[in-house]
Amino acid sequence: MTLTPRPGIMEIAPYVGGEAAIPGKNRVIRLASNENPLGPSPLAIAAYASLEKDLHRYPDGGARALREAIARAEDLDPDRIVCGAGSDELIALLVRGYAGPGDEVLHSAHGFLMYALSAKGAGAEPIAAPERELNADVDALLERVSENTKLLFLANPNNPTGSYLTEAELRRLHQGLPEQVLLVIDAAYAEYAIEDDYCSAMDMVAEFGNLVVTRTFSKIHGLAALRLGWAYCPPDVADVLNRLRGPFNVSQAAQAAGVAAVGDRQHLERSRAHNTRWLNWTVERLSAIGLDPRPSAGNFLLVRFAGESGRSAEAALAHLKKNGILVRAMGGYGLPDCLRITIGTESETRAMVQALEGFAALAEAGPASEKRA
């Protein structure tokens, strides 16, 4: 007799994160995981370092100080906040809480991969709705709602496409959903979105019983290593998550650093301004060499490459790697002709653009010159 995992588990292709090292290279420019290149707030680093004497103590299982700090910063109700070990954990808990075998979890075709993986983990079926030119399509999503649909996940802005739905579109999506479907807006990149018609949907949580917003400290707060995310929920959903989550799912280090990070508006503004400046600069420079970065409301760009050899995304990835630069291949998202590039520090971003300019020049000169290079 062999052990048999639950149906669906063996269909999960384990999530592959962005690469972090290149064999033989000591100095690597990491633009593969949408991290904040400026790192966390110095206040968060100090709060983290101050914990060394208390490592034998369990964390506060209710993360009260952190929830109150988030609530103060964002003008929210702390009782509706649930913290998790990254928003990944909250995504998985939401699926486990509301979907199982025979149920469907709806997402947009190029939505964040964890929605489909979490659905399979719970034995539910992920359903992908087609997009319009890599933008989530409200009508296509609504058309795919069936009586088995339990959750709909939408990343806004979306990783990896960088696209977003406006508040009007979000409201139309919510309005078209039956009450028994939970709409989860994953706003991991909310702080980077500066577009006037962007809305993180936080206000909508208070209006409806079936809408949750997830957020993370891994992106603009620069605390990806500590694994910290949070969900803003209707009370019933918060109750479900609090029953399902581990009693100490968020470490004390993450809680302490999170309190300090959320209070440091200056660092947040600095990080946002840095991103806006270098994102726009990168778009201009890449467009000038004939590449086609998509508009992005996040801290990354999805760049499409020509299909022919010597100019392909695969060749660009290899060229960047040769230059010590890691970006993200997009085959796992069904976009093999694209790369996703995180905006780095000024010098990292300049180095990446320079390498791509070199790549374009080589491709222009033809395959023979590439071999010589």
Ligand X SMILES: Cc1ncc(COP(=O)(O)O)c(C=O)c1O
Neighbours of 309 (CB within 10 A): 11
| Number of residues that make up the chain | 373
In the complex with ligand X, the residue whose CB is nearer, 18 or 358, is: 18
Is position 299 an interface residue for ligand X (rule: CB under 6 A)? no
Task: Dump the DSSP string for 44-104.
Answer: HHHHHHTTGGGTTSPP-TT-HHHHHHHHHHHT--GGGEEEESHHHHHHHHHHHHH--TT-E
How many residues form the binding site for ligand X (CB under 6 A)? 13
Does 108 help bind ligand X (rule: CB under 6 A)? no
Q: Which stretch binds ligand X (CB under 6 A): 93-101, 216-224, 258-266, 353-361?
A: 216-224
List the 229-232 sheet strands across, edge first.
81-84, 229-232, 211-216, 182-186, 149-155, 104-108, 125-129
- Whole-number minimum distance, CB 183 to ligand X, in Å? 15
Which of 34, 210, 252, 271 touches ligand X (CB under 6 A)?
Answer: 34
* Residues 177-196, mask of contacts with ligand X (x by CB under 6 A): ---------x-x--------
Provide, rounded to whole angstroms, the least separation between the CB of residue 185 and ligand X: 10
Binding mask 62-101 for ligand X (x = CB under 6 A): ------------------------xxx-------------
Instruction: Note whether 109 and 129 are within 8 A (CB).
Output: yes
Q: Which residue in the block uniquely carries the two structure tokens 């509706």?
A: 80
Mutual angle of helices 252-263 and 64-74, in 10-degree steps: 20
Q: Which is nearer to ligand X, 163 or 310 (CB)?
A: 163
- 61 to 67, 248, 272, 340: CA distances (angstroms): 11, 5, 31, 36
- Verify binding: residue 224, ligand X, rule CB under 6 A: yes
Task: For residue 222, state whether it binds ligand X (rule: CB under 6 A).
Answer: no
Q: C-alpha 219: how far from its chain's center? A: 8
Report the residue number, 87 or 252, with the smaller CB distance to ligand X. 87
Residue from the set 66, 155, 231, 262 that interacts with ligand X by CB under 6 A: 155
Q: Copy the structure tokens of residue 28.
A: 């690597």
Residues that bind ligand X (CB under 6 A): 34, 86-88, 112, 155, 159, 186, 188, 216, 218, 224, 229
